[in-house]
Amino acid sequence: MPPSRPGADHAHAPGHSHDDGADLAGVVMDQAFWDERYQSSSALWSGQPNSVLITEAADLAPGTALDVGCGEGADAIWLAQRGWRVTAIDISTVALERGAAHAREAGGDLAQPISWLHVDVTNWVPPASTYDLVSAQFLHAPKIQRQTLHQRLAASVAPDGSLLLVGHHVSDLETTVPRPPVPELYFTSDDVAASLDSHQWDVVVSDTRPRQTLDPEDRSTTIRDAVLLARRTS
């Protein structure tokens, strides 16, 4: 598979125009920042579903899914095409409008199984024990916010459902791919696995997964994703 360019995955990490770490952490969940960023380009991401979602969810039985930080909708559309009923949430109304438009363009009545919701996940509590799959791909937040968010997302998974959390590994700060220079925005799969109650969860995958991409100078480089897939047992 050829390396993908930066931006191939929908993600909610701060942009690279800020240099101060405190400023970066402060805009992670800021609607104005994200609306402006989406408006700066006709397509912020590649339009392709995230590769980890394809790998880890392809064999799951379709049910209800929560796509957290859905961006321009590629993951939600991929899930809906496979029979999932998807709640796609994002802080950016621009992203949500694009996602809904892409679903209509994809055809197959995909507008029906996808609900697009404007949500700030820092103060939103999803319904408990509801979703057969909760997926958050590259949703980066300061540590305290992230831990609370992950707890809420885990609580929203139905029994026998799956939690899929993917993020940029902290080692990516050493690559030539631009990353916000705020180490606390990143996490490892082991960090997340340790936060789950072993009496309620089976960890299916806890991995640091390398993949190839192109940096801004078109040089091939390896980046690493933190991947956590867990199944709720009770």
- Which segment, 11-25, 44-58, 193-207, 213-227, is predicted with the most confidence on average? 193-207
What dihedral do alpha carbons 169, 175, 177, 183 form, nearest 10°? 40
Average pLDDT on 124-146 reads 94
Give the DSSP letter string of 59-109: TSPP-EEEEET-TTSHHHHHHHHTT-EEEEEES-HHHHHHHHHHHHHH-TT
pLDDT beyond 70 at 13: no
pLDDT at site 179: 84
Q: What is the pTM of this model?
A: 0.86
Cα distance between residue 180 and residue 116, in whole Å? 28
Average pLDDT for the chain: 85
pLDDT beyond 50 at 8: no
pLDDT at site 30: 81
Query: Could you report the per-residue pLDDT of 178-222, keeping only the tens digit for each?
Result: 888 888 889 999 999 999 999 999 999 999 999 998 888 899 999
The more confidently predicted of residues 141 and 73 is 73
Please give the distance of CA 62 from its chain centroid, rounded to a whole number. 19
pLDDT beyond 70 at 5: no
